[in-house]
Amino acid sequence: MKGVIIAGGPGTRLRPLTYIRPKPIVPVVNKPFLEYQVDLLKRHGISDIIFCTNYMAEMIEAHFGDGSAHGVRMSYVIEENPLGTAGAVKNAEPLFKGDTLLVFNGDVLTDFDLSAIIDFHKKRKATVTLTLMGVPSPSPYGVIITDEQQRVLEFREPSEEVKKMLARNPNVEHTGTDYINAGTYVIESSIFEQIPADVPYSFERQLFPSLLAGGAPVYGYAAEGYWLDIGRPQQYMEAHRAVLAGSVKVHVAGRKAAKGYWVMSDGKADPVIDPTAHIGPTVHVGQRTRIEANATIAGIVSIGHDCVIGEGSTVENCVLLDKITVGGNVILKNSIVDSETVIEDNAVIEASCVLASNSRIGFGSAIC
């Protein structure tokens, strides 16, 4: 079995973070996001992994190389033009012909039991097994209807009436559970023979409905565990919360300090933290970062490498990437700050901001 990760999208919903890097390697708790998916595949015995890439593909390959540093074998296939989800995998067909595939969308944080999904697929002798995630019903998402054996009967979109009703009242009383496509599939690679080469083609809108119409054995496995699409800033922040609070079962980079927070440490590039700083347990601090006297770091916070948090400053529920300087007596809350940004003394930011790389917030500025 081989793993395939679809990692070619431009990440437009996560801008400005994706102006300088592809979404699949945007850091989540000081670890490029794709490493979580690679770790999960390896944990379930899948060590041969193919990346389907397009946007800034060279950065993904430069990070992972041949995969040996991560205990796996990596291959790469670049889309010269975007080919859609199924088209992107079709583009990699010479690397997997005849294999069973475990296919991931490259922006999903999950700890699903892949071994259980694969076992279900084999026992059902399925052509495709879609992993399903339960959501409260009624749902604004397209839902998947299965029979008692979990064979897929129908892909059903909510009516316009339901969509409008949920838009008006998102807190409507729920009457049950719907199952949606979680973007993780076990697929017999023979199905790619019927997909045209070098043209955009979608799993969700073309291939799966076509297989269903032709009577192919398509099944849905209702998985338990954590699942999150990290594609928007709010979801990206939520991914940090899940990792640092332990909601998702993943390996967190670094180690726990004596006071309970996380530090990236190799014995040579440890962070330097003043003993008067107040740091909560769901905080992660990168290498060579300096936190000065009486600083307060609270809530869910990830601070990257080579950062400075100035004396008396407060950072609460934030993600700071690398080489960020926060001056003295700054208040910074509920925000994402990209690399090499400077926030000068006495600034106040409490507005759920997403600051682009190389930004500068001047002395005493207030964004509330």
Q: What is the mean pLDDT of each run of 10 residues along the chain (368 residues)?
A: 87 86 90 93 94 87 90 91 88 90 90 95 95 77 86 79 67 75 92 89 89 93 91 92 94 88 83 94 95 97 96 96 96 95 94 90 84
Predicted pLDDT at 330 = 96
Predicted confidence at residue 166, as pLDDT, reads 64
Structural domains for the chain: 2-245 (3.90.550.10), 256-367 (2.160.10.10)
Cβ atoms of residues 219 and 173 within 8 Å? no
Which helix (H) or strand (E) is 41 found in, with range?
helix 34-43
Task: State residue 310's pLDDT score.
Answer: 97
End-to-end alpha-carbon separation of the chain, Å?
A: 51
Residue in this structure with the two tokens 């400005």, named with its chain if needed: 16
Long-range contacts, 123-127 (Cβ 8 Å, 24+): 124/149, 124/150, 124/151, 124/217, 124/219, 125/217, 126/186, 126/188, 126/217, 126/218, 126/219, 127/187, 127/188, 127/190, 127/191, 127/211, 127/216, 127/217, 127/218
Separation CA 129–CA 150 (nearest Å): 10
> Could you give the 3-state DSSP secondary structure of residue 117?
helix
Whether residue 234 contacts residue 228, with contact meaning beta carbons closer than 8 Å, is answered with: no
Of 131, 296, 154, 297, whose CA–CA distance to 227 is shortest? 131
Q: What is the pLDDT, as a whole number, of residue 324?
A: 97
**Could you give the CA distance from residue 200 to residue 87 in angstroms, rounded to a whole number?**
5
Model confidence, pTM = 0.89
Asked if residues 219 and 129 have their Cβ atoms less than 8 Å apart, the reply is yes
**Residue 9, C-beta contacts closer than 8 angstroms, at least 6 positions apart:** 23, 54, 55, 82, 106, 107
**Using omega within 30 degrees of 0 as the cis cutoff, is the peptide bond preceding 82 cis?**
no
Query: Which pLDDT does position 134 carry in this prediction?
Result: 85
Residue 364: what pLDDT? Answer: 84
Per this entry, what is the length of the chain? 368
Q: Give the Cα separation of 309 and 331 in Å (integer).
A: 11
